[in-house]
Structure 1
Amino acid sequence: MAECPKCGEEHGLCSAHSKRTGGPCQSTEVLPGGTVCKAHGGHSPQAMKAAQERENRRIMTELYEADPQAAIAAYGTEAIEDPLDMLSRLAASSAHMMDALGRRVNALEEIRYENDKGGEQVRTELKLYMAAMAQTGKFLDMLIKSGFEERRIKIDEATAGMFVTAMQRVLARLELSPEQTALVGVVVPEELRALNA
């Protein structure tokens, strides 16, 4: 283990320091994923929750490093074949959640309330809305940095190119008169605009 920057000594399982000596705590009773012993707050609800999360991440990391497919199967999920598409769907879901929470916030008469101890609190709806806004912003930033829009435009252009080629082949096989062929240049754009309306 590395030397502690505070006391200059190596720690065992507990990363806390003795109040009496200032040296490393000597306790070896630390929960899996925990960083401190019971005497130093390792059994508080928030410390136990953080310890469990760290332990879960450690197990998943070990599983994934040993066998990525087994780790994915253990959680009953399929591999993501198109990460950009998944990121786009996450951004859309986050934006929908933000909109729904925004409607809840707008319906509130007050955004603050007094708790049972007389302190002023911000309503949970507002906190959730702010978190959803931040999350949506992160997803959108990731999409912009990933070149998602350029990729979508390329796909749209490729689809349009295939459509034009197919239309040219269909029209060539129909053996239209020159008048009918001239009408195609008017009718097709009108119909495409009608579809987008």
Structure 2
Amino acid sequence: MRVLVVEDDENLRVAIAAALRSAGFAVDAAGDLPAADEALSVSSYDCAVFDRMLPSGDALRYVRLRRPSVPVLFLTARDSVADRIAGLDAGDDYLVKPFAVEELEARVRRLCRRAGSGLPPVLRCGDLELDSGRHEVRRAGVLLTLTGKEFDVLRQLVARQRQPVGRTELIREVWDPLVDPASNVLDVVIAQLRRKLRNPPMIHTVRGFGYRIEPT
């Protein structure tokens, strides 16, 4: 599960990111709204954690005007009823500072589960069918035998079919945020998937970036 943390206080931003990584999340961090906007435009997230008031603007207003397609947890020092209602109306959760790290992790985990449930249990791409509930993949009706990593990589690609998915993002989602993007673990899995999916080929290399899957 991948999370974007947007917080202008560097010490707090680093602490939140470290805590979430220790809890098993892949984390990107941004210090202001322009950096957050750039991150959201190039990557997919299961949850975003926004400091409510940033020097670059009000995150609540940003979410209202340019709602990212991810659940949002607002962090704020404002604890009035009106502020809480405003935050809950715009986002999915609202946490008042100071807060316990364990509560932050629990709220982020809940929002990420909600985001994950937004995908239908069965994904299709041309004659390819991926059933997350049964953990089965079929092409042209033929059941394929995939490893866990192969299934997870394929699911990431099929969920965003026709769109390029960066190798760094795939590694962070399927393996670990500390795995070197230059590692060949992803290349090995892609090669295995291409062999098992057979012809005509569906997975295409996006040179210098990552991979894309397209229906045939």
Q: What interval of TM-score do these two structures reach, taking the shorter chain for normalisation?
A: under 0.3
The TM-score normalised by the length of structure 2 is: 0.18
The TM-score normalised by the length of structure 1 is: 0.19
Structure with the largest fraction of helix: 1
- Whose RCO is larger (CA < 8 A, sep 6+)? 2
Structure with max Cα Rg: 1
